Structure 1
Amino acid sequence: MNPRILLLALGMFALGTDAFIVAGVLPVIAQDTGVSEGLVGQLITVFSLTYGLGAPVLAALSGRWAPNRVLIGASGLLCLANLASALAPSFPILLLTRILAGCFAATYTPLAFAAGMSLAPPARRGQALALVVSGLNIATVLGAPLGTWIGERLGWRLSFAMVALLAGIASLCLLLCGLPRSAPPSPLSLQERLRPIAQPRVMLVLLPALLWNIGVYSMYAYVAPFIQQQLQIRDVSLLLACFGLGIVCANRLSSLLADRFNPQRLIIVFLAMLIVLQLLLPLVVTTFVGGAIMFILWGMSFALLFIPQQQRLLNIAPEHANVILALNNSALYLGIAGGAAVGGLALRAFAITQLAWIGIVPLLTALLIVAFYQRRLSTC
């Protein structure tokens, strides 16, 4: 395997750590900046909202430039954005730096996937893509917990500095090692990238993904103060690692199940599991062992949805594969943004332990839409 693929994975590791790190150091940022935890949660909202809305726009704008240059530039700018987050003198400036980081992350991700496949022979392109994606998975197990551990002991600014260092190393190494020079592909306009949304069947598949991410992240965005209140502990990094471990375990299991069962039915089963586990979360996370088990299962049930969702999209619109998968990625990040926003608003009226139950509403809505779509398919 070409070693430059590992550098692309390192960039994805930095990006994944950047996306999830705020949830772990949220109480520390709130205490240091003097704002509420609900307001700090909006750092996740603006990053994810910028990513979700910006991905198709930035892809259309940068489509005229050489992909290798855009990729290296995006990773370098992601480094600078996180350095700016670490040095932000006030909360509004910190909010602005998270918007910039979301822009550069949205630019980097699709190009990293494409570059990873171009660096591998045709027979191993799937493995190359999996290796690049593994950077995100490892970030949930190692990057975000490590950043949380650093933030709790040395300050949240060093957490962002760590992400800046990782992105900087990846950018510098890619610059020195070089990437294959390729002519810019035929650019797709923003209208062409958004055209599949006009198809009702595509919307019926994208909408549940948006909703189940809102449901999960209305709780996960505020998971650090939730754990601290439930278990009376300061260090939440190990339990965040358990959530990431569940995601990694689910990726392998999900790929095996997706090859044997109908993806539509798998989505229904996994969503039902996720709803039950999120209902039980505040009731079971009363001891460290109970919390560890619940976070592994919660992470697994959430991640099990990913591959069947990709298969559903490819089955209904194979002619728009690249565009529709990009839209799905945008839906996921818009769901993260929506969940963080919903959780922040809910904290004004509800206890933090009730956020898990508030997230059940969009999860149930997603399940009803998927069940309706399945029934519609069976009657056609």
Structure 2
Amino acid sequence: MRKIWLLMLGAFTLGLDAYVMAGLLPVVAADLGTTVSLAGQMVTVFTLAYAVSAPLVAGLVQGVRPRVLIIASLGVFTLGNGLTALAPSLAVLLLSRAVAGVGAGVYSALSTAAASALAPQERRGRALALVMGGMSTGTVLGVPLGVLLAERAGWRATMWAVTGLGALALAGLAAWLTQVPADPPVPVRARLGALTDRAVVPVVGVSFLAAVASLGLYTYLAPVLADAGGVGEGGVAPYLWAWGIGGILGSVCAGPLVDRTGRVMALVTGLLLSLILAEAALPLLGAAAHPALVLWGAAGWAFQVPQQHRLLALRAERGTVALALNNSALYLGSAVGSGLAGLALSAGLPPERLPWAAAAVAGVGLGVHLVWGRRSETHTQRTDTGDARTRQA
């Protein structure tokens, strides 16, 4: 299990690095002499590089041993964070975040596959939970801790801490990670087929819109709360903790809810409604925004459990590719959301109105889910029935 724990440490560092800068935007902007909206683009370039790197690299390096790619991707990720800590200007900062994002995207895809391949059959679920839990814990708990460190020692100290964690995981994996069995290559036809599959596209599209609304807004949580009168002497950290506590509750409760009720469509509907309600309430609550942040965090982190459940219910040859496509949609949505929010702020939109715009995007996602989601379920059932009849014949 030592290898799995090292993979988990790398995943924890990824989760921390992806969003810790969201709580540091005002400090970073002041240090580099730029605006908060421009500084926020470092989250955009990181998540965009994260989203596109895994599928691109997967198509270019087929045949390369997974162990080599895991170590190399974590090395690129750690190098990018070191460059971020040293960045003297916004241009260098954005470049360094793109480098870190490329490494993070490839490592994220490979680490979960490696955990599954290295664990015995009866412990694969636990191994996957450890790696995925490491990433969510890095975001949910690591981000507030990183903000606290930055408040005491500066934002560059936080980035050096992230770099140190990445280097520690890199050294451990280089020393102890054995060869990892490689999965059979996925045919190009199967990869492209998922992009036009009427059962896959509505689900992935809703995941994209939910990420725009949730993760995109999270990038600018600090200025949003400040504009709404919600940041006091304690700074933004208590609000990040509230969002994180909600995230833990959502992550823990979503799986049992899916297993116990089996009502995946209804659960997705309820979570989207909760996200809309929480974000719409943020500007109205001001300093008392903690309950809305708990609800937002719970809905946002729980949302992908039923979404992944729906994708895994697809035909076997599409399920794995659909999950990879959904993962890319999440980070692409985060990049688009933070990018659009930055443009809106640059155009003069008051930060306290961003949650209402995000809630509107989530509302569009709810509409897509209600209209096309049911159609995709029907299409899948018809296709599965036809496949069964073909096999019987």
TM-score if structure 1 supplies the norm length?
0.94
* Aligned residue number for residue 203 of structure 2: 205
Deviation, structure 1 residue 146: 1.5
Residues 1-380 of structure 1 mapped to structure 2, 5 A cutoff: 2-177=1-176, 179-182=177-180, 184-188=182-186, 192-229=190-227, 230-233=229-232, 235-259=235-259, 260-284=261-285, 286-287=286-287, 290-347=288-345, 348-376=347-375, 377=377
Partner Cα separation in structure 1 for residue 373 and residue 180 of structure 2: 42
Partner Cα separation in structure 2 for residue 163 and residue 372 of structure 1: 42
Show structure 2 runs of 5+ residues with no match.
383-393
1:124-172 per-residue CA deviation (whole Å, 9 max, x = no partner) reads 1011100111111211232111111122222211111111100000010
SS, match of residue 200 in structure 2: helix
Output the amino acid matched with 1:302: G
1:16-73 per-residue CA deviation (whole Å, 9 max, x = no partner) reads 1110111011110111111111111111111111111222001222332110111112
Output the amino acid matched with 1:211: L
Output the amino acid matched with 1:161: W
Partner Cα separation in structure 2 for residue 116 and residue 316 of structure 1: 23
Output the amino acid matched with 1:251: S
Residues 227 and 233 of structure 1 are in contact (CA less than 8 Å); yes or no, is this contact kept in structure 2? no
Residues 63 and 188 of structure 1 are in contact (CA less than 8 Å); yes or no, is this contact kept in structure 2? no
* 1:191 to 1:97, Cα distance in 2 relative to 1, 3 A: farther
The root-mean-square deviation of aligned C-alpha atoms, in Å, is 1.8
Partner Cα separation in structure 1 for residue 325 and residue 304 of structure 2: 14
* 1:218 to 1:68, Cα distance in 2 relative to 1, 3 A: closer
Residues 60 and 188 of structure 1 are in contact (CA less than 8 Å); yes or no, is this contact kept in structure 2? no
Residue identity over aligned pairs, in percent, reads 36
Partner Cα separation in structure 2 for residue 266 and residue 232 of structure 1: 33
TM-score if structure 2 supplies the norm length?
0.91
SS, match of residue 201 in structure 1: coil
Output the amino acid matched with 1:246: G
Residues 274 and 295 of structure 2 are in contact (CA less than 8 Å); yes or no, is this contact kept in structure 1? no
**Stretch of structure 1 that moved more, 99-108 or 275-284:** 275-284
Partner Cα separation in structure 2 for residue 242 and residue 270 of structure 1: 18
**Stretch of structure 1 that moved more, 349-358 or 311-320:** 311-320
Residues 278 and 293 of structure 2 are in contact (CA less than 8 Å); yes or no, is this contact kept in structure 1? no
Deviation, structure 1 residue 190: 5.8
1:152-198 per-residue CA deviation (whole Å, 9 max, x = no partner) reads 22221111111110000001011122x23145444346664333112
* Number of aligned positions between the proteins: 375
Deviation, structure 1 residue 375: 4.4
Partner Cα separation in structure 1 for residue 119 and residue 206 of structure 2: 34
Partner Cα separation in structure 2 for residue 116 and residue 182 of structure 1: 9
Partner Cα separation in structure 2 for residue 191 and residue 83 of structure 1: 39
Partner Cα separation in structure 1 for residue 303 and residue 183 of structure 2: 31
